[in-house]
Structure 1
């Protein structure tokens, strides 16, 4: 387990709980949460899903059986969209529901109880909000608890809520199942990137896993706020367990925002900045955001797959044979620190990876 007093990769300023704010006054939206006009959900173009613009759906059981068409579909999904949903992924419904249940139970606790797991000043693990780097920036309409889940020695159990019966067991079971899903996706991406099936796993050195459990309360003015500001993810891939009933995730698509319609019991996968660098830009991480609604709270669990801090995330050899090299070699620790010390701002942070950039 992680030692006490060890500095994390970043920190976030403490801010009030949005959930508690809504409990106390469900109509009031403080100015600090009101987004600038260009970022408001109704002031930025939104595409409504049609059959032609839904993100790809990948059948993981077909990938596992070596289906060439499904592998090509994965390639296209990562090149054209950066997002896809997976079905027949092998994670039992009771495991998915068990995970959702303990997240709901945590956010049902009193504020006093949740604060026992609050983020400290020097780490991002725990309960609070992420990416709050100044007292002036606009805030997201949501609360979260963030945990390192793999490898086991990276866990800091003081942030794992003991007040929720079965929390540790549910997270552990879900984490183990997602590790299997991750390995299968990585093996297929390795093949598409011209490596053997273990190529990406080796590049990670240690395949780390963290979870961000999100709670987005209803908002009386969902047209003014965002649950999560636009950003791309700083890991290699992200696997999202989202609410089956309530749509909130949107991805950047043709200069507008495309809602991702939930498929019951599916998982949403997206390419992160690390795969973008390793693939020399063949697969790009995509901006995404979460919107709120006026009627119902929404919860989700984002599982981030991360490489070891000491490895390089420049393009792999097979990705520079037929493409000019566009990304520099950089230690992942240097990149993730750069990523975490900034507020969420689309893909602005990924310029740090590009060869022509020294910022």
Structure 2
């Protein structure tokens, strides 16, 4: 699969859409794809909350904490963690500096516009499928580690305090200062379906700005993703076909956010 060099249609920024007060047709989801209120999504109380402080205590508490994480990955694919060890000051500073960037004039942000080749920089769409229905959201994507793939030309010079971060995150009603964790497709494949990746979305709010920060931990491009043999029962076949992470990433860049389509495409037939 070849990497597309340019966006199929010119990107439109959220600020431009908001100023126009008109929603273009390509941002209108089909009724079947729109979020609907549901008793199953009743807020933070519905989603497991794991206290990572237990990992620093005795053996029994460590075991209980790891079991809680495992149960959440198996039953939900989505959970929140508290006592994660990241300082509240650092979290507040990250929100402040990224809000500072997105509040800059459009011409300054456009200097860091991205392309489909790497997606690094300031962007407004994921996927290069022509005519696709798009999500309404701007983002800034940066490679942080390893240092060998870090592109310093894509790190904004403004605001001056912005030197180490990345942007996009949460869902449901988050607990203050907690992190929201969701299982990715690769973990679902690696565990042969024992842990499940979760389809999730963020809904725009007409009255309030939203700034989310997401951190993605990805394998090397050439790593073959397949079910661990220890998790495939004797006498059965793996549930998923092997695929390198690069192949998976290229599919994601081509199709953009598409729910469980990519994980489903890896299922063995």
Equivalent residue for 1:34, pick from 21, 25, 28:
28
> Contact 1:280/1:315 (CA < 8 Å) preserved in 2?
yes
Q: Tell me the residue number matched to 2:47.
A: 55
For the Cα contact (< 8 Å) 2:128–2:255, is it kept in 1?
yes
**1:6-29 Cα deviation digits (max 9, x unpaired):** x9898754411112321x23x322
SS at 1:150 equivalent? coil
The equivalent position to 1:16 in structure 2, one of 12, 19, 23, is 12
Greater strand share, structure number: 1
* Moved segments of 4+, more than 6 Å: 7-11
Would you say 1:167 and 2:162 are equivalent positions?
Answer: yes
Contact map agreement 2:127 2:252 (CA 8 A) in 1: no
Which residue of the other structure, out of 128, 144, 147, is the alignment partner of 2:139? Answer: 144
Which of the numbers 260, 265, 268 marks the counterpart of 1:352?
A: 265
TM-score when normalising by structure 1: 0.68
Is 1:269 equivalent to 2:165 in the alignment?
no
Give the superposition deviation at 1:118: 0.4
Distance (whole Å) between structure 2 residues aligned to residue 60 and residue 9 of structure 1:
42
Could you tell me whether the CA contact under 8 Å between 2:77 and 2:182 is conserved in 1?
Answer: yes
Q: Which runs of 5+ in 1 are unaligned?
A: 1-6, 172-210, 215-239, 243-248, 250-259
Shift of 1:30: 2.0
CA contact (8 A) 1:330 1:353 kept: yes
RMSD of Structure 2 on Structure 1 (CA):
2.3
Note the C-alpha offset of 1:336: 1.8
* TM-score, structure 2 as length reference: 0.89
Specify whether residues 58 and 8 from structure 1 end up closer, same or farther in structure 2 by C-alpha distance, changes over 3 A only: farther
Q: Does the C-alpha gap of structure 1 residues 74 and 121 become closer, same or farther in structure 2, counting only changes over 3 Å?
A: closer
| Structure 2 SS opposite 1:306 | coil
Q: How many residues align?
A: 263
Cα 1:132–1:307 change in 2 (3 A) is closer
User: 2:66 matched to which residue of 1?
Assistant: 71
Partner of 1:3: none
